[in-house]
């Protein structure tokens, strides 16, 4: 039995894992490469981990790919990231049958190029028949933006007389989020050594376990995920109880 097989037995994987894919730029700098080379390597790490999550039986994998704040970066870097995303989605559409993964996109996609928006819509529509594994891509995503977007949608329905303000509950508010229908992540992993949330899943992380790791995202491999899951199992989740 390999170490991985042992871990699958010892530590059942959480149903929903979320990852802040951070450290691409530092990885590239360490090698004297342009930042986009780091993002390319980060894309490969994502493929590795998505495949491994399937082996582990993880149902939902949510990845932070581009934040509402990442537009502050140089135009060259932003367009490099967008190109990589388009290429990835093109491939995913081609290999859809083989992979049988459902795609969802969390974030305000209207700011993306029409081509990229179309790829996202197509990937979401064409993969909606798969139910075993779901990858949620956070693209132009911000936790605060998500809450504003939800509040506006609810207010609009109130204005139209479809809803009453008193009806609003935590559950109902959740249904207006980009993540509607997806259970909250049990585990949120941030590689790269930073210990902050950076506007990721602000509502959904209420009771998530956070695991911060010193590895840079392009170097992140199955053994790192094993380690994060093992750490998750060492935690004592009380949810406010005793
Ligand atoms: C994460 O890596 C990728 C995105 C934010 C798009 P970074 O590009 O933030 O890498 P560092 O933090 O500069 O190393
Ligand atoms: C968070 O990383 C966003 C993504 C990984 C997409 P950042 O690199 O943008 O976060 P900060 O700037 O270190 O907080
Ligand atoms: Mg970063």
Domain-embedded: residue 51: yes
Q: Which active-site residues does the annotation give?
A: 22, 70
Confirm whether 203 is domain-assigned: yes
Opening angle at CA 55, ends 83 and 225, nearest 5: 70
Which residues in the chain come in under a pLDDT of 70? 1-10
Q: Pocket of ligand 1, candidates 20, 21, 24, 73: which has the most ligand atoms within 8 Å of its Cβ, to mutate?
A: 24
**What's the pTM?**
0.96
Interval between CA 200 and ligand 2 midpoint (Å) = 9
Closest CA to 58 of 234, 239, 228: 228
**If DSSP codes are grouped into helix, strand and coil, which group holds residue 139?**
strand
Tell me how far the alpha carbon of residue 211 lies from the centroid of ligand 1, in angstroms. 18
219 found inside a domain: yes
Provide the token pair at 121.
């819509």
Alpha carbons 103 and 112: distance in angstroms, whole number: 17
SS3 86: helix
CA-nearest of 238, 191, 211, 166 to 64 is 191
Domain that holds residue 117: 13-142+184-234
Q: Give the CATH number for residue 98.
A: 3.40.1180.10
- Token couple for 96: 């859809």
Instruction: Write the residue with the smallest CA distance to atom 3 of ligand 1.
Output: 22
Q: At what angle do helices 3-10 and 35-56 cross, to 10 degrees?
A: 60
In this structure, which residue's CA is closest to atom 14 in ligand 2? 198
Ligand nearest to the CA of 196: 2
In a domain, 39, yes or no: yes
Residue 173 domain flag: no
Q: Report which protein residue has its CA nearest ligand 2's atom 3.
A: 67
141 three-state secondary structure: strand
Longest dimension (CA), the chain: 61
- Residue 213: name the closest of 235, 237, 234, 229 by CA: 229
Report if residue 107 sits inside a domain. yes
Question: What was the pLDDT predicted at 42?
Answer: 98
- The tally of domains found in the chain comes to 1
Q: Is residue 167 assigned to a domain?
A: no
| Per-residue pLDDT at 5 | 58
Handedness of CA 192, 197, 202, 207 (dihedral sign): positive
Residue 154 within any structural domain of the chain: no
pLDDT for position 12: 87
């Amino acid at each position: 039995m390999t170490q991985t097989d042992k871990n699958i037995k010892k530590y059942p994987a959480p149903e929903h894992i979320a990852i802040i894919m951070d450290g691409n730029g530092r990885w590239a700098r360490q090698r004297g490469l342009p930042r986009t080379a780091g993002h390319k390597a980060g894309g490969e790490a994502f493929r590795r981990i998505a495949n491994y999550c399937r082996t582990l039986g993880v149902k939902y994998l949510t990845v932070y790919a581009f934040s509402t704040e990442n537009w502050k970066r140089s135009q060259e870097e932003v367009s490099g990231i967008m190109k990589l995303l388009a290429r990835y989605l093109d491939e995913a559409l081609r290999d859809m049958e083989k992979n049988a993964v459902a795609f969802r996109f969390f974030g305000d996609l209207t700011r993306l190029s029409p081509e990229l928006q179309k790829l996202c819509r197509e990937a979401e529509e064409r993969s909606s028949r798969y139910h075993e594994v779901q990858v949620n891509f956070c693209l132009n995503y911000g936790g605060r933006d998500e809450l504003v977007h939800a509040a506006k949608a609810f207010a609009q329905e109130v204005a139209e007389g479809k809803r009453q303000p008193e009806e609003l509950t935590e559950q109902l508010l959740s249904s207006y989020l980009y993540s509607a229908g997806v259970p909250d992540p049990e585990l949120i992993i941030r590689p790269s050594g930073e210990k902050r949330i950076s506007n990721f899943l602000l509502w959904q992380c209420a009771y998530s376990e956070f695991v911060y790791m010193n590895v840079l995202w392009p170097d992140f491999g199955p053994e790192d995920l094993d380690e994060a899951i093992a750490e998750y199992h060492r935690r004592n989740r009380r949810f406010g109880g005793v």
